[in-house]
């Protein structure tokens, strides 16, 4: 991995206009430390962006990556966004910097990289070594800020490689509390000084409570230790953020402030018994349950957040009377179920699934809802989580468990065979509900009987018609469309629709389903004002699936052939010159599975005269790249290679670099692969590039380099099936038959379509 930085520095800007220039300048002026810098402007409103752009333009640091959030996502979410993209082994997240002591910083980085047991370096503080020291630290006023930690991410398990998104500050301290008692490098001398213009936050009630709850979750703290931690938690007091007119509720607020949570819940129950729609009581109860952080119980006990008076009146007309919030959500009787919620999950999907179900419990009426989860051979503790859901009978939860990843389409079909409702709401596990979108979609289904499939809009989608960015206030409540993105789809079960499992893991099964519905004379619709959040790519990206993957283009080919989609119009092409017709084919052709009709048209156009013209003409950079790509797709190797020689002095588009690498890798021409991989700019490096490099090392049996690289990538992408296949190859070359087979089996478990291990020695898989 050339030019790979040792250190990733994260700077989250939240209205830091006055301090951001000194922060960035301090970083850019250090020398001798290979680092990459991620800057996220998290919804700033003070024109911080102008200062950032000015500094970036001045220094032109090649490994700086700048992102902006239109609306604040929060410090924790922003840090996690950077963690998912970083390349450095070490991670540092100061909020502001006035001065950097390069000597001290270099020393701490060196100590961390050479240490065999230290997880972090800590500035001016000592990490507690036992629960009593932790409790004492949590009670103090001066707690270490995020910038006081430098993390060795390679020493953290993948399950702990994230920051708590619910905290506003002190994410590093919470991560340290989450781990077992760990070894750290103490730095008595500061490696940096925060800006004096930045006022460091003080720990508040929410932070102290979260830290104590983090300690409670640690498996090694049980028995008397647990009781000792519970005591300060119960004694915590807090100022209420809301005031209530109701006398009983005011008393409950006081109990909450005194830490008497159970007593407060009893009193809130009395309030809600008299007034089930009391918004203040419901909000207070939600806050107390959230503070306990008991995910399943919270899912059962949380009730719908209060809505505006207008919304509540609409719900009274459209929905049956909701159960009292004084009782846990009771599972619906199977005969009362109207909607079946279907969620496939796989690999390391538990955090996303848990977050999704919490939002269902918080925002959706569950009185007519059942849950069906399809567990596609998960690699984490999803199984235990689902067992607990079943034990508590959360939403009549039923679980379908597959020993291998059956793919999205097949999983949905399995669940559809078990539904009790008139409607099935199919969602990805990375969906978050912000209101009762399920009920809104169901109501639209009931009022539009000609529609078999409808869906909401969201912030991130492959279907531009479902993007909230394209929604206008004047849009009607319902729009007819040709197809939907499967992040959230409401189906009419009596339409008897089934997804086509030929689409394997993902892509186009949702569009195909909509085409099936329309072929049955049903309609497909979008509800533009019904919205959900979509944490896009949580599962597919970990499986190395995107719109450049072989899976995607295979499914494009299958879909077009199945539905007889016209790939180009001959009449439109005839209006162009022969050469321009050829270029137009490059825009139309499937780069991995070229359509026969386009191949035939190419053969008609590509005469000897045109070949001579192409070779003798001086093409602009864009045209040259299009020609190289087209001749690569059409397997015209001779002219392709001659045109490739002309690429030496131009900046090749990243997408073409990756396509050329794939082309030569699949033909075992590894020198050409390396040639193009070396042309990637640092900001365009990716996991896929590292996979190619690793695969080339393995194919060349350069195991001394391959093994440490494999370990590093396993930590970074533990769900990627290609890594397990390559691990199997390494063990095979080393004569470790049983270990090789176990890794091949894991690759097959994650993606049985590409990594079938039928003969235990079939190694011809393609990236």
The CATH code of the domain that includes 696 is 1.25.40.10
How much is the pLDDT for 758?
A: 46
Whether residue 663 lies inside any domain: the answer is: no
Whether the pLDDT of residue 251 is over 90: the answer is no
CATH of the domain at 469: 3.90.550.10
DSSP string, 463-474: -GGGBGGG--TT
- Whole-Å CA distances, 190 to 145, 167, 176, 270, 409: 13, 25, 19, 54, 55
pLDDT at 526: 97
Q: Give me the mean pLDDT over the 9-35 stretch.
A: 90
Angle at 662 between CA 660 and CA 665, to 5 degrees: 105
Tokens of 305: 């957040």
Length of the chain: 767
Task: Check pLDDT > 70 for residue 376.
Answer: yes
Which of the residue ranges 42-51, 275-284, 321-330 has the most confident prediction, judged by mean pLDDT? 42-51
CATH number at residue 264: 1.25.40
Average pLDDT (506-515) is 96
pLDDT of 333 higher than 60: yes
Please give the C-alpha separations between residue 228 and each of 212, 233, 258, 266, in angstroms, as whole numbers: 10, 9, 18, 25
Give the model confidence (pLDDT) of 529-560 as tens digits. 999 999 887 778 778 788 889 999 999 999 99
Longest distance between any two alpha carbons in the chain, whole Å: 92
Q: Are residues 550 and 571 in the same domain?
A: no
Q: Are residues 426 and 444 in the same domain?
A: yes
- Are 520 and 401 members of one domain? yes
Same domain, 165 and 143: yes
- Are 367 and 412 found together in one domain? yes
pLDDT on residue 575: 85
Q: What is the pLDDT of residue 715?
A: 86
Q: State the CB neighbour count (10 A cutoff) for residue 581.
A: 20
Of 529, 557, 585, at which residue does a domain stop?
A: 557
* pLDDT value at 9 more than 60: yes
Mean pLDDT, residues 225-230: 75
- What is the model's pLDDT at position 756? 83
Q: Which of 29-38, 348-357, 532-541 has the lowest mean pLDDT?
A: 532-541
Confidence of residue 313 (pLDDT cuts 50, 70, 90): very low
Q: Is residue 231 part of a domain?
A: no
Higher pLDDT, 359 or 763: 359
Asked if the model's pLDDT at residue 237 lies above 60, the reply is: no
Distance of CA 634 to the CA centre of its chain: 36
Task: Strand 7-13: give its sheet, edge to edge.
Answer: 64-69, 35-42, 7-13, 90-92, 149-152, 118-123, 183-187
Give the closest residue to 146 by CA, choosing from 92, 224, 213. Answer: 92
> Does residue 295 surpass a pLDDT of 60?
no
Q: Which of 196, 217, 238 is the last residue of a domain?
A: 217
- Is 661 among the domain residues? no
DSSP 8-state assignment for residue 494: G
Mean pLDDT of the chain: 85
Angle at Cα 65 formed by Cα 59 and Cα 70, nearest 5°?
115
Task: Average the pLDDT over 487-513 and give the result.
Answer: 96
pLDDT for the residue numbered 332 = 65
Q: Residue 80: inside a domain, yes or no?
A: yes
Residues 684-698, mean pLDDT to the nearest whole number: 93
Q: 607 and 642 share a domain?
A: yes
In this structure, the answer to whether residues 363 and 454 fall within a common structural domain is: yes
Residues 734 and 605 in one domain: no
- Give the integer Cα–Cα distance in Å for 191 and 103: 8
Say which residue the tokens 């599962």 belong to: 539
Domain span holding position 739 = 672-767
Closest CA to 187 of 325, 92, 293: 92
Q: Are residues 311 and 357 in the same domain?
A: no
Mean pLDDT of 311-327: 41
Q: What is the pLDDT of residues 446-484, one digit of tens each?
A: 999 999 999 999 998 989 999 999 998 888 989 999 999
Average of per-residue pLDDT across 629-651: 93
Instruction: Give the integer Cα–Cα distance in Å for 396 and 371.
Output: 6
- What's the token pair of residue 561? 């052939």
Query: Is beta strand 479-481 parallel, antiparallel or unpaired with respect to 523-534?
Result: antiparallel
- Helix count (H) and strand count (E) of the chain? 31, 18
**Is the residue at 323 inside a domain?**
no
pLDDT at 309 > cutoff 50: no
C-beta neighbour count of 599 within 10 angstroms: 15
pLDDT exceeds cutoff 70 at 323 = no
pLDDT for residue 681 is more than 70: yes
Per-residue confidence band for 303, with pLDDT thresholds at 50, 70 and 90? very low
Task: Please write down the HEC assignment for all residues of 238-266.
Answer: CCCCCCCCCHHHHHHHHHHHCCCHHHHHH
Give how many domains the chain has, as a whole number: 5
What is the pLDDT confidence band of residue 181, given thresholds at 50, 70 and 90?
A: confident
The whole-number pLDDT of residue 243 equals: 32
pLDDT score of 147 = 93
Q: Is the pLDDT of residue 767 over 80?
A: no
Structure confidence at residue 321 (pLDDT)? 37
By the 8 A CB rule, do 22 and 195 touch? yes
| Domain end call among 284, 318, 352 | 318
d(CA 14, CA 44): 5
Residues 584, 478 share a domain: no
In a domain, 208, yes or no: yes
460 & 395 share domain: yes
- Determine the pLDDT at residue 439: 95
Query: Quick one: pLDDT band at residue 221, thresholds 50, 70, 90?
Result: low
| Whether the predicted pLDDT of 294 surpasses 60 | no
Domain annotation covers residue 1: no
Q: Which of the four pLDDT bands, split at 50, 70 and 90, describes residue 686?
A: confident
Q: Is residue 663 very low, low, confident or very high in pLDDT (cuts 50, 70, 90)?
A: very high
Q: Please say if the pLDDT value at position 765 is more than 60.
A: no
> What's the average model confidence in pLDDT over 665-686?
92
Q: Give the pLDDT confidence of 399-455 residue by residue, as tens digits.
A: 999 999 999 999 999 999 999 989 999 999 999 999 999 999 999 999 999 999 999
Asked whether residue 537 is domain-assigned, the answer is yes
204-218, 225-239, 382-396, range with the lowest pLDDT: 225-239
Model pLDDT, residue 24: 93
The b/e string for 336-358 (b: 16+ C-beta within 10 A; e otherwise) is ebbbbbbbbbbbbbbbbbbbbbb
Determine how many CB atoms are found less than 10 A away from the CB of residue 474: 5
In this prediction, residues 757-761 reach a mean pLDDT of 50
Instruction: Check residue 159 and give its pLDDT.
Output: 81
Confidence at residue 133, expressed as pLDDT on a 0 to 100 scale: 86
Span 91-102, pLDDT tens digits: 999 999 989 999
Helices in 467-607 by DSSP H: which ranges?
Answer: 509-519, 550-562, 570-574, 578-588, 596-605
* Residue 657 to residue 650: CA distance in whole angstroms: 12
728 and 590 in one domain?
A: no
Provide mean pLDDT across the span 368-375.
Answer: 95
Cα–Cα distances in angstroms (integers) from residue 227 to residues 129, 232, 234, 526, in the given order: 18, 9, 10, 52
């Amino acid at each position: 991995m050339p030019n790979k930085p040792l250190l990733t520095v994260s700077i989250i800007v939240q209205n830091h206009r006055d301090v951001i220039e000194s922060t960035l300048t301090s970083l850019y002026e250090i020398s001798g430390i290979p680092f990459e810098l991620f800057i996220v402007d998290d919804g700033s409103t003070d024109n911080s962006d102008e200062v950032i752009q000015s500094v970036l333009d001045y220094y032109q640091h090649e490994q700086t990556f700048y992102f902006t959030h239109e609306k604040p996502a929060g410090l924790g979410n922003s840090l996690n966004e950077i963690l998912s993209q970083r390349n450095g082994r070490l991670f540092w997240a100061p909020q502001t910097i006035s001065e950097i002591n390069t000597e001290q910083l270099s020393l701490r980085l060196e100590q961390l990289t050479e240490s065999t047991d230290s997880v972090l370096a800590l500035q001016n503080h000592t990490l507690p070594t036992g629960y009593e020291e932790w409790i004492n630290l949590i009670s103090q006023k001066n707690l270490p800020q995020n910038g006081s930690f430098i993390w060795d991410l390679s020493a953290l398990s993948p399950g702990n490689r994230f920051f708590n998104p619910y905290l506003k500050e002190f994410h590093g301290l919470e991560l340290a509390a989450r781990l077992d008692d760990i070894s750290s490098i103490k730095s008595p001398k500061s490696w940096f000084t925060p800006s004096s213009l930045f006022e460091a936050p003080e720990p508040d009630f929410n932070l102290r409570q979260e830290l104590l709850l983090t300690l409670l979750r640690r498996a090694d703290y049980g028995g008397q230790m647990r009781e000792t931690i519970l005591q300060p938690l119960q004694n915590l007091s807090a100022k209420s953020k809301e005031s209530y007119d109701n006398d009983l509720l005011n008393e409950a607020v006081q109990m909450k402030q005194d830490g008497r949570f159970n007593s407060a819940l009893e009193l809130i129950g009395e309030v809600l018994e008299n007034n089930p729609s009391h918004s203040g009581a419901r909000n207070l109860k939600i806050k107390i349950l959230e503070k306990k952080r008991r995910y399943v119980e919270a899912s059962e006990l949380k009730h719908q957040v209060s809505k505006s008076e207008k919304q509540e009146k609409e719900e009274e007309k459209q929905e049956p009377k909701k159960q009292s919030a004084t009782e846990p959500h009771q599972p619906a009787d199977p005969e009362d179920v109207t909607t079946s919620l279907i969620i496939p999950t796989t690999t390391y999907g538990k955090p996303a699934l848990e977050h999704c179900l919490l939002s269902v419990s918080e925002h959706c009426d569950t009185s007519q809802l059942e849950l069906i989860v399809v567990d596609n051979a998960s690699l984490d503790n999803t199984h235990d989580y689902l067992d607990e859901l079943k034990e508590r009978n959360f939403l009549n939860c039923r679980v379908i468990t597959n020993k291998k990843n059956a793919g999205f389409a097949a999983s949905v079909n399995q669940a559809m065979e078990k539904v009790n409702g008139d409607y099935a709401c199919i969602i990805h596990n990375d969906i978050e509900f912000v209101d009762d979108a399920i009920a809104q979609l169901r109501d639209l289904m009931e009022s539009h009987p000609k529609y078999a499939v409808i869906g909401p809009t969201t912030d991130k989608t492959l279907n531009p018609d479902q993007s909230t960015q394209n929604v206008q206030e004047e849009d009607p409540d319902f729009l007819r469309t040709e197809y939907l993105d499967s992040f959230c789809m409401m189906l009419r079960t009596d339409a008897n629709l089934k997804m086509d499992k030929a689409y394997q893991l993902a892509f186009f099964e949702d569009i195909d389903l909509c085409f099936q519905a329309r072929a049955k004379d049903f309609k497909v619709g979008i509800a533009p004002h019904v919205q959900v959040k979509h944490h896009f790519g949580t599962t597919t990206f970990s499986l190395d699936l995107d719109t450049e993957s072989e899976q995607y283009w295979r499914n494009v080919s299958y879909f077009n052939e199945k539905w007889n989609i016209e790939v180009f119009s001959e009449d439109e092409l005839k209006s162009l010159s022969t050469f321009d017709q050829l270029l137009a084919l490059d825009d139309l052709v499937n780069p991995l599975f070229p359509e026969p009709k386009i191949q035939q048209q190419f053969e008609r156009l590509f005469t000897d005269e045109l070949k001579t013209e192409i070779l003798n003409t001086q093409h602009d950079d864009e045209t040259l790249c299009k020609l190289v790509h087209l001749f690569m797709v059409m397997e015209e190797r001779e002219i392709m290679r001659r045109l490739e020689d002309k690429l030496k002095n131009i900046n090749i588009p990243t997408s073409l670099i990756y396509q050329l690498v794939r082309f030569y890798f699949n033909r075992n021409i590894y020198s050409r692969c390396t040639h193009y991989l070396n042309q990637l700019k640092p900001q365009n490096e990716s996991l896929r590039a590292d996979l190619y490099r690793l695969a080339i090392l393995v194919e060349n049996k350069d195991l001394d380099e391959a093994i440490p690289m494999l370990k590093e990538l396993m930590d970074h992408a533990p769900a990627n099936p290609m890594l397990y296949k390559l691990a199997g190859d390494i063990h095979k070359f080393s004569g470790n038959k049983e270990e090789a087979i176990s890794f091949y089996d894991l690759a097959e478990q994650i993606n049985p379509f590409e990594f079938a291990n039928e003969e235990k020695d079939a190694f011809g898989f393609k990236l």
